[in-house]
Amino acid sequence: MIDQLKKEVDQGLSTVEKFLPSKYFYDKSGDALFVKIMNLPEYYVTRAEHEIFKTQTYAIIKSLQLDPDIYFDLIELGAGDGLKTKELLRELDRLNYRFDYMPVDISQSALDNLKVDLNKELPSLSIQKKHGDYFEVLELLKENKHPKVILFLGSNIGNMSDAVATDFLSKLSDNLQKKDKLFLGVDLIKPASIVLPAYNDSQGITAAFNLNLLDRINRELEANFDLQFFKHQPEYKESDGIAKSYLVSTKAQQVYIAKINKSFDFFEGEKILMEISRKYNDSILNSILSKTDFTIKGKITDSKAYFANYILER
Ligand code: AVI
Taking alpha carbons only, the member of 150, 138, 134, 137 closest to residue 184 is 150
pLDDT (tens digit per residue) in 11-44: 999 999 999 999 999 999 999 999 999 999 999 9
Dihedral sign from CA coordinates of 8, 10, 11, 12 = positive
Please state, rounded to an integer, the average pLDDT across all residues of the chain: 96
Q: Probe ligand 1: pick from 20, 46, 159, 236, max atoms within 8 Å of CB?
A: 159
The reported pLDDT for the residue numbered 311 is 98
* Mean pLDDT within 240-247: 98
* 129, pLDDT greater than 90: yes
* Mean pLDDT within 1-7: 92
Q: From the CA of 269, how far away is ligand 1's center (Å)? A: 24
Ligand 1 near 154 CB (within 6 A): yes
DSSP secondary structure letter of residue 56: -
Taking alpha carbons only, the member of 177, 293, 209 closest to residue 40 is 209
Ligand 1 near 313 CB (within 6 A): no
For 86-103, b/e burial (b = at least 16 CB within 10 A) is: bbbbeebbeeebebebbb
Burial of 266 (0-12, 13-18, 19+ CB in 10 A): buried
What ipTM was predicted for this assembly? 0.99
Residue 51 pLDDT level (bands cut at 50, 70, 90): very high
* Mean pLDDT within 104-111: 89
Query: Which residue minimizes the CA distance to atom 3 of ligand 1?
Result: 156
Query: Which residue minimizes the CA distance to atom 5 of ligand 1?
Result: 277
- As a whole number of angstroms, the distance between CA 218 and CA 83 comes to 33
Residue 290 pLDDT level (bands cut at 50, 70, 90): very high
Helix (H, G, I), strand (E, B) or coil at 201: coil
The reported pLDDT for the residue numbered 110 is 87
Q: From the CA of 234, how far away is ligand 1's center (Å)? A: 12
* Mean pLDDT within 186-202: 98
Ligand 1 near 275 CB (within 6 A): yes
Bridge partners of residue 277, in order along the sequence = 243
